[in-house]
Structure 1
Amino acid sequence: MGKRVEKIKEVTEEEWEACHPFNKRITNEFLEQQHLSPQTLRQYQSSLKIFFRWVKDNCENKSITDLKPRDALRYQNFLMSRDLSSNAVKFKRSSVSSLCGFIELYYNEDYPLFRNIYNKKIPNPPRALRNEKQPLTKEELDLLVDTLKEREEWQMVAYVMFSYESGCRRSETAQLLKEVVTYDKVKDKDGNFKDYYMTNSIRCKGKGREGNVRKLVMGDAAMEAVKKWLEVRGEDDCDLVFVKKTKDGKVDPLSPTAFNYWCHEIFSEIVGRRVHPHQLRSTRATHIVAIDGKDIKTAQKVLGHKSSETTQIYVIRDDDDDIDDAF
């Protein structure tokens, strides 16, 4: 199932409290920006805290204004030595770079000589796929769903079917409302029902706090799976489909990170190779184009991409398919 990446631990309150006062204050000011989405803010917060913990442990807990490009390079090398993916390293690098830009813009009078420590001379980490981009086959998807049904893991079945049919991201899945089971199928201009449903409005990936708000689509299989889960779950006060029950019996929204756990620890064991949440999105795009033979623009509409070129990245075809077509 491949080498397991050692995840960098989140910064504890005690560790954060020990960081340089200016670093903590400027981080909080940076995170108060209103144009950033809540999810982006959480990612920035985690990333910057990890950076300043590293500064505390490796750079004598200096203020960021006293750091040099060589320190930025050392931090990047530290991240790469932890065997993170190139995308993960780039995000942590960009979060620090964005904070530097914030200081340059708003604290220029106080620190006129300060410059972004991630300058152009520090190369980006080489692009390397942490895991091979290999979508699930139809057989693997069926095996996964059938096994979960046998185990009566109805919430997991609903998650797999909805995420696959809608082609959505994990954060979008978490926003699905229970009320969708009362929705009728979409009608065409003549009033005839189509073969799919539309969800409640969901905040999808996009710029700004509001992002790109749209309604996702799903078919009968996903709708039946959601209905089955809600039937088993019973009545409660939470409006969302995916939830967790606390020890005192309270029902709370399920964090998107729970989907990571399901994929890594449960689904991977069933399928026999690594499964991750975004893989369902790639699987959907691949099945639409490479198996069902639909146009790339069909997959583009389902996934909600502005450009079909972005969708093409998600479609993984066997190289032999192109050779077969040539003959």
Structure 2
Amino acid sequence: MTKRNSFYSPTIFEQVNKENTALLNDYILELKSKRKSEGTIYQYASDIKMFFCWAFNNLNNKFVLDMKKRDFRRFFLELQESGASSARINRVQCSLRNMLEFASEDEDEYDYPINVMKNIKGLQKEEVREIHFLTDEQIDIILNYLINKKQYQKALYLSLSYESAGRRNEVFQVLKDGFLENNKTNIVQGKRGKKFQLLYFSRSKEIAKLYFEQRGSDDIDSLWIVGKGEDRRPAQYETLYNWCMSFRKILFKETGELIEFNPHSFRHSSLTNYENGTHYVLKELGKEKLELNVLKTLANHSDISTTQSYLPNKDAEILAEAFGI
């Protein structure tokens, strides 16, 4: 079990205080009513479930609304000692704080006047993780490996992510219906509640044909599935992350390069390669490259400065060219 989920256990969660699970279920309904994305709800629920499992083992399965500030502090200390990053701990704090705030606002259902999490400060953020960009050739190497191994679903995830520049959460929301007949996905929800469609091109459609033939017929709407036969079910959000980790191993096996990229690297790499003229889709479109304002629209950014921040810093290259270094 990874450090990220070191306290969670499905077996333990089944024994968690029913008042805790009832509160979580109420909170999930509240998030759905506010049209939070599936990925966001999944993350919040996972964080809270992990805490409830820890409380089962360490706080005698106490009802969360009866817990004191010291109980939460003890949990976050243990989470920190388990190796969780500051960003991870701060997100878990946010998940719990928001659920408790929901309880404090619902006076008819819960007698919880003060949210004790409000005064627990988050950890100082660590240095921003290095962004790893993949070249068009490196994407090709991974894709060709997956296709040769007939791992068509994983290949489609990579191809769709790279062509659309979509975030993992957005790609996770794509449905299978109509995928082969269009070049735009169903409407997905991105950050700050934005709704839009993701663009994709011929390679993703060709891979999708192979995938759908391999997958066969089922009544699952999601483009992404796990399991076989009667155990077949929609993939979870975390599944796409695990696929990405397997892509690291493939690239290392095929090239000897160990690059610690993550799902967001596909978005960075897509925008960068569209901008520098190396993205394979540009040949299909008959274009040399895409301008920054087009990339802003593709990435569904509100501000062009955000799009610029996704691209590699070129200051050193500009100076080298200017001074002939």
* Equivalent of 2:27 in 1, 25, 30: 30
Alignment of 1:110-149 (within 5 A): 110-112=111-113, 114-119=114-119, 122-129=121-128, 132-149=130-147
Following TM superposition, by how much is the alpha carbon of 1:58 offset from its aligned partner in structure 2, in angstroms? Answer: 3.1
TM-score when normalising by structure 2:
0.77
**2:240 is equivalent to residue 259 of structure 1:** yes
**2:216 is equivalent to residue 218 of structure 1:** no
CA contact (8 A) 2:3 2:82 kept: yes
Q: 1:52 to 1:149 in 2, by over 3 A?
A: closer
Q: Distance in 2 between matches of 1:10 and 1:63?
A: 17
Q: Secondary structure at the match of 1:203?
A: strand
Deviations 1:283-312 (A, max 9, x none): 112222355664332222112222223333
- Between the aligned residues of both structures, percent identity stands at 24
Q: Which residue of 1 aligns with 2:251?
A: 271
Between stretches 95-104 and 29-38, larger displacement belongs to: 29-38
* Equivalent of 2:187 in 173, 194, 202: 202
Q: Secondary structure at the match of 1:274?
A: coil
Alignment of 1:154-173 (within 5 A): 154-173=152-171
Q: 1:176 to 1:315 in 2, by over 3 A?
A: farther
Superposed CA RMSD in Å reads 3.2
Q: Secondary structure at the match of 1:132?
A: coil
Q: Which residue of 1 aligns with 2:105?
A: 105
Following TM superposition, by how much is the alpha carbon of 1:53 offset from its aligned partner in structure 2, in angstroms? Answer: 2.4
CA contact (8 A) 1:226 1:241 kept: no
**2:300 is equivalent to residue 307 of structure 1:** no
Q: Distance in 2 between matches of 1:69 and 1:10?
A: 19
Q: Secondary structure at the match of 1:179?
A: coil
Q: 1:25 to 1:253 in 2, by over 3 A?
A: closer
Q: 1:60 to 1:153 in 2, by over 3 A?
A: closer
CA contact (8 A) 2:176 2:222 kept: yes
Deviations 1:50-101 (A, max 9, x none): 1122233334444334433333333222222222233322221101111221
CA contact (8 A) 1:201 1:213 kept: no
CA contact (8 A) 1:288 1:294 kept: yes
Gaps of 5+ in 2: 253-258, 279-288
- AA in 2 matched with 1:89: I
Q: Secondary structure at the match of 1:32?
A: helix
Please list every run of at least 4 consecutive aligned residues from structure 1 whose deviation after the TM superposition is greater than 6 angstroms: none
* Equivalent of 2:291 in 295, 303, 306: 295
Q: Distance in 2 between matches of 1:284 and 1:28?
A: 37
* Equivalent of 1:229 in 206, 211, 217: 211
Q: 1:62 to 1:217 in 2, by over 3 A?
A: same
Q: Which residue of 1 aligns with 2:82?
A: 82
Between stretches 232-241 and 96-105, larger displacement belongs to: 232-241
Q: Secondary structure at the match of 2:117?
A: coil
- AA in 1 matched with 2:266: L
TM-score when normalising by structure 1:
0.77
Between stretches 171-180 and 139-148, larger displacement belongs to: 171-180
Q: Secondary structure at the match of 2:195?
A: strand
Gaps of 5+ in 1: 184-196
Q: Which residue of 2 aligns with 1:182?
A: 181
- AA in 1 matched with 2:146: L
CA contact (8 A) 2:187 2:197 kept: yes
Following TM superposition, by how much is the alpha carbon of 1:128 offset from its aligned partner in structure 2, in angstroms? Answer: 3.7
Structure 1 or 2: larger helix share? 2
Q: Distance in 2 between matches of 1:12 and 1:235?
A: 33
Q: Distance in 1 between matches of 2:140 and 2:10?
A: 44
Q: 1:24 to 1:285 in 2, by over 3 A?
A: same
How many aligned positions are there?
302
Q: 1:325 to 1:93 in 2, by over 3 A?
A: farther
Deviations 1:206-226 (A, max 9, x none): 45xxx4332221233333332
